[in-house]
Homo-oligomer: A and B are copies of this chain.
């Protein structure tokens, strides 16, 4: 049991709303192709916004929702699967936009691809509980669109851009908010099932141009990921619930990473979830990488799907291949 309380969330979607039909046109596909392939009706693409711009907006909104000012935040973590620049951390670029009130506040990045938000919350919860920080802000901000291969219908019909931020404190005395259990597992036999080979030191952009087989674009083997996820998911969740001394019926809402519609169906089926027991935002935003869990968490709060005292399960898989979960009393 780790004493952590969610104080407020903020969400930011970039300007360029793109419906499935607009994407059909752009991809020169028969009308209906994108929706049929991905189940994603709409997504938002950046139109000039940077990751730190979006992170800044989400952070500002989270502060407002929590009724806090920036000088009350003791640590800024950017938890994203994509970076704005190879160096420095995206957190320091967001800090720069936040301005002088963020001066001196530690800022760094945590990356577990789509699970970055979940991993950051899990790891930082111990620093909060121990009193190292009073209040922290975790920001996920993702631009998937710039790395999409527009010839790969599966991935380019699925992903969207967006950001979300969440502020956490140690739980005040006499309050009940807490993490009941948490777990992360990495199965690196799946390390190359979804990846962007380039951009880092291995296939460095100075040597690899577009003619070299587009190493800078995202590629995914959805079928193999599905298979590996399906294999590890049930036992993973069973252990997580056991550790929290709960059953799946105790979970008010499962907030999964919005990997894809088939992935969400898999979660629903394998966990035997009731009709209203899972948050589904993929049709509205697509898969927004690490920001998909905090965006769904934000929407769950604003749509009154959860209230204080409810038990929530954050859950997902990510490139790596990792699986992660947090059972949280909101």
Contact = CB atoms under 8 A, between A and B. Distances in A.
Interface in A67-117: 76, 81-93, 95-96, 98, 102-113, 115-116
Contacts of A130: 2, 126, 129-130
A191 interface: yes
A159 to B, nearest CB: 12
Contacts of A106: 119, 184-186, 322, 324
Interface string A199-243: 111111110111000101110000000000000000000000000
Interface residues of A, number: 79
A154 interface: no
Contacts of A199: 83, 85-86, 199-200, 205
Given A111-B111, A199-B85, A92 B216 contact: no
Interface string A174-198: 0000000000111111011011111
Interface of A: 2, 50-51, 76, 81-93, 95-96, 98, 102-113, 115-116, 119, 123-124, 126-127, 129-130, 132, 143, 146-147, 184-189, 191-192, 194-206, 208-210, 214, 216-218, 318-322, 324
